[in-house]
Amino acid sequence: MKRRDILKSAGLALAGTTLLPLSALANTSTADEKEKNTKSKVGKRKLGSSLEVSSIGIGVQNMSRTYQTTIPNRKQMHQIIHAAYDNGVTFFDAAEAYGVHEVERILGEGVQPFRNKIKIATKFGWNIDQETEKRLPGLNSKPAHIVKVVDGMLKRLRTDHIDLLYQHRVDPDVPIEDVVGTIKDLIQQGKVLHYGLSEPGVQTVQRAHKEHPITAIQNEYSLLWRGPEKSILPLCKELGIGFVCWSPLGVGFLTGAIDEQTRFAQGDIRGIETRFSPENIKNNLAILKLLNEWSIKKQATSTQISLAWLLAQEPWIVPIPGTTQMEHMLENIGADKVKFSKNELSEFTNQLNAIQVMGERLPPFVQVFSDVEAPMKK
């Protein structure tokens, strides 16, 4: 079932019984409806040794600017954040680079009424001037810069601590030991509670974990991109590190929103990802055909099947789908109620393995920042 067919889909009508309505629209709920909604809240998972979060989080990256380059309504973004919390979501993911800084402000405003009941993750690492908010070339994980960035994050997020702080990309000029040492100081000061890395090289993960236990790795992972299965996921399992999936819906592809007729807006990065080029997308649509078949079997949407498959991989994997649409957020978190039996999971995965995804996930000038190893400390 495609997302665009959601309202007329019998499958979503059934899956929708697991979703809570927006509190503003629920004032007339009957006692039975309230009881049903209470039972439907998203479950919990643990990242690392002690960070408990909802089994599905929310990525807020596009709440300042969508892939289509439009600017969402700020009040509506706050309403989505509130509704997510009402439905049991306790994990919200941002970064200083999103917006630049604006997404952190939107999130900080949105979670104020329940800040201490949720977990905020955000990221540093790009070379951003903290006064002008201009994005400069390259990366910057120099210790003094990290300290300055975190102080700014706390102000924008309207909080006194960051629950999970990631290095957004590994800096090839700064030893990871220096980065982790700085984060350890911030942890001792109470400004940061846990830390992680995003798109890191394997050796860098091992070195960082020796300095201080890593709580989570955040990489792209979905039915469309399964790269982490090669090295990072086995390493997370070995070291007891949680894994957070960014772009778990393949930047919208797995929702059925992209097909051969799709033309991307100028400035939409998906327009320069070769996996969506005319010569490749026809082949890759085989994944959507598979999802449509299973959505009928499971009486769920293709979106929910995609997220449920990720959740079924390991109990320490947490997807963070992003959206700027209320109905999509509710659909996403409904995936927590979609379960694969052992045989179903094996059958689905075998069918998925038979599909070879064509094209690269990112353009070369972006991909170059992934899988980087930090220099050795002298």
Q: pLDDT for 180-221, tens place per residue? A: 999 999 999 999 999 999 999 999 999 999 999 999 999 999
> 272 Cβ partners below 8 Å, 6+ apart?
363
CA distance 281 to 21: 35
pLDDT of amino acid 238: 98
Confidence of residue 346 (pLDDT cuts 50, 70, 90): very high
How does the average pLDDT of the chain come out, rounded?
91
Averaged pLDDT for residues 363-374: 97
Confidence of residue 67 (pLDDT cuts 50, 70, 90): confident
Confidence of residue 70 (pLDDT cuts 50, 70, 90): confident
Tokens of 46: 């643990």
Averaged pLDDT for residues 27-41: 41
Tokens of 238: 């070995």
Confidence of residue 69 (pLDDT cuts 50, 70, 90): confident
CA distance 128 to 134: 6
State the greatest distance between any 2 C-alpha atoms of the chain, in Å, as a whole number. Answer: 66
Confidence of residue 98 (pLDDT cuts 50, 70, 90): very high
pTM reported for the whole predicted model: 0.90
Specify the higher pLDDT residue, 227 or 4. 227
pLDDT of amino acid 66: 84
Q: Does residue 294 register a pLDDT over 60?
A: yes
Averaged pLDDT for residues 81-95: 98
Confidence of residue 27 (pLDDT cuts 50, 70, 90): very low
Give exposure, 197-217, as e/b (b: 16+ Cβ within 10 Å): bbbbbeebbebbbebeebbbb
Pairing assessment for the beta strands 51-54 and 44-47 based on DSSP bridges? antiparallel
Q: Does residue 102 register a pLDDT over 60?
A: yes
Examine residue 179 and state whether it is found in any structural domain, yes or no. Answer: yes
Query: Tell me, what amino acid is at 15?
Result: A
CA distance 24 to 373: 48
3-class SS of residue 138: strand
pLDDT of amino acid 40: 58
Which candidate in 98, 166, 195, 221 is catalytic? Answer: 98
> 242 Cβ partners below 8 Å, 6+ apart?
45, 46, 47, 48, 51, 196, 215, 216, 217, 236, 316, 317, 318
Examine residue 37 and state whether it is found in any structural domain, yes or no. Answer: no
Query: Tell me, what amino acid is at 117?
Result: K
pLDDT of amino acid 213: 98
Averaged pLDDT for residues 85-113: 97
pLDDT of amino acid 75: 97
Q: Does residue 330 register a pLDDT over 90?
A: yes
Query: Tell me, what amino acid is at 274?
Result: T
pLDDT of amino acid 65: 87
Examine residue 14 and state whether it is found in any structural domain, yes or no. Answer: no
Residue of 68, 106, 95 whose CA lies nearest to 252 = 68
Angle at 325 between CA 85 and CA 114, to 5 degrees: 20
Is residue 140 within 8 Å of residue 127, measured between CB atoms?
yes
CA distance 177 to 185: 12
98 part of the active site = yes
Per-residue pLDDT reduced to its tens digit, 218-245: 999 999 999 999 999 999 999 999 999 9
Give the CA distances from residue 40 to residues 117, 254, 299, in Å, rounded to whole numbers and listed in that order: 18, 24, 17
The beta strands (E) that lie in the chain are given as 44-47, 51-54, 58-59, 91-93, 119-124, 126-128, 135-139, 164-167, 195-198, 216-220, 242-246, 317-319
pLDDT of amino acid 1: 53
Examine residue 223 and state whether it is found in any structural domain, yes or no. Answer: yes
Confidence of residue 16 (pLDDT cuts 50, 70, 90): very low
pLDDT of amino acid 2: 53
Range of the domain at 233: 48-367
Per-residue pLDDT reduced to its tens digit, 249-284: 999 999 999 999 998 988 899 999 999 999 999 999
Percent above pLDDT 70 for the chain: 89
Per-residue pLDDT reduced to its tens digit, 157-183: 999 999 999 999 999 999 999 999 999
Is residue 294 within 8 Å of residue 341, measured between CB atoms?
no
> 110 Cβ partners below 8 Å, 6+ apart?
77, 78, 81, 82
DSSP 86-110: HTT--EEE--TTTTTTHHHHHHHHH
Examine residue 40 and state whether it is found in any structural domain, yes or no. Answer: no
Q: Does residue 31 register a pLDDT over 70?
A: no
The CATH number for 187's domain is 3.20.20.100
Examine residue 11 and state whether it is found in any structural domain, yes or no. Answer: no
Hey, CA dihedral for 346, 291, 37, 76, is it positive or negative? Answer: positive
Examine residue 12 and state whether it is found in any structural domain, yes or no. Answer: no
Tokens of 127: 């070379």
Tokens of 74: 């700020």
CA distance 272 to 181: 37
Tokens of 205: 């993960």
Number of domains comprising the chain: 1
Examine residue 158 and state whether it is found in any structural domain, yes or no. Answer: yes
Residue given tokens 């353009």 in the structure block: 363
